[in-house]
Amino acid sequence: MTYCLAITLDDGLVFASDSRTNAGADQVAMYSKMHTFELEKERVFVLLTAGNLATSQAVLARIKRDIEDEAEESLHSVRGLSDAAAYLGRINREEREKHEDTLTKAGFSADASFILGGQIGRQAPEIYLIYPQGNFITTSSHTRFLQIGESKYGKPILDRIVARETSLGDAARCALVSIDSTMRSNVTVGPPIEVIVYERDTLAFEHYLCLDADDDYLMDLKRAWDDNIRRAFQDLPRFDWEGTRGQKRRSTQITTLRKAAKKTVKKG
């Protein structure tokens, strides 16, 4: 299993991914799931992968070959990000169909999912999620991020923090907390964690991180998040029946109810 995410903001894009691949209890390996493509000063792409490793590697190989062969359709020739998503979806579907029957009979899935993001010229930066069937979706004004893989554990922090005006730094920290939350709940997601922060209209990748489990910054981030979560939890409002203040408040409420009951009886 894996976990990858991408965030689109006013100031640019943020991408993050883990590096653990699990094909069984005794077959855990590390593979980068983040791939970049640049045509200097013209276009940049980031590709995140999840699912069947053989399918995703075959798709990646075809993308690279099309670029090298200067094919009629490639990431270097598509006119827009949506065209790039459609191109990637077609390749994904074709590679999946090649091995689907054999893998299904063996009890495996040939499915692979991708997140593709970047910028072409002065077009707006975008991100797309491409499904195994070849179709794809993008973000909306209400949902500024996309996820693939083990997404459920890391989604709550994204829902609470990410907005279109969120800074790139805050979004990158949010992405790291999202992945850390997932790693705590699912051992099939693990470091190294890769992060790319892309600044709008630069058409270059200038901010890249690869964080191992014992990286100083990652350890500090985890400790700070844990400490602040515990502090925030302790500051939550108390129940009426907790502690002296709760007992006094409860006693006052009971007295008020008794007085109201007596007035009701007298009126009756």
Residues 6 or more apart whose Cβ sits within 8 Å of residue 196: 14, 15, 16, 34, 36, 46, 205, 207, 208, 209
* Percent of the chain surpassing pLDDT 90: 71
Q: What is the DSSP letter of 256?
A: H
Q: Which residue has the higher pLDDT, 78 or 110?
A: 78
How many whole angstroms separate alpha carbon 82 and alpha carbon 22?
A: 31
182-232 pLDDT, tens per residue?
999 988 788 899 999 999 999 999 999 999 999 999 999 999 999 999 999
In 121-192, at which residue ranges do the beta strands (DSSP E only) sit? 126-130, 136-138, 145-149
- Cα distances from 174 to residues 149, 154, 162, 168, 217, in angstroms, run 17, 9, 8, 10, 14
126-179 pLDDT, tens per residue?
999 999 999 999 999 889 999 999 999 999 999 999 999 999 999 999 999 999
Q: What is the pLDDT of residue 101?
A: 77
53-67, 175-189, 237-251: least confidently modelled range: 237-251
| Residue pair 90/133 in contact by the 8 Å Cβ criterion | no
How many whole angstroms separate alpha carbon 184 and alpha carbon 16?
A: 17
Q: Which residue has the higher pLDDT, 262 or 60?
A: 60
97-110 pLDDT, tens per residue?
988 877 777 777 88
Residue 17 has pLDDT above 90, yes or no: yes
| Residue pair 148/116 in contact by the 8 Å Cβ criterion | no
Q: What is the pLDDT of residue 99?
A: 80
What are the beta bridge partners of residue 120?
A: 43
pTM attached to this predicted model: 0.85
Delimit the CATH 3.60.20.10 region(s) of the chain.
Answer: 3-218
Residue 88 has pLDDT above 90, yes or no: yes
Residue 26: pLDDT band (50, 70, 90) is very low
Specify whether domain 3-218 bears CATH 1.10.8.50.
no
Using the structure block, give the residue that is written with the tokens 């299993």: 1
Residue 261: pLDDT band (50, 70, 90) is low
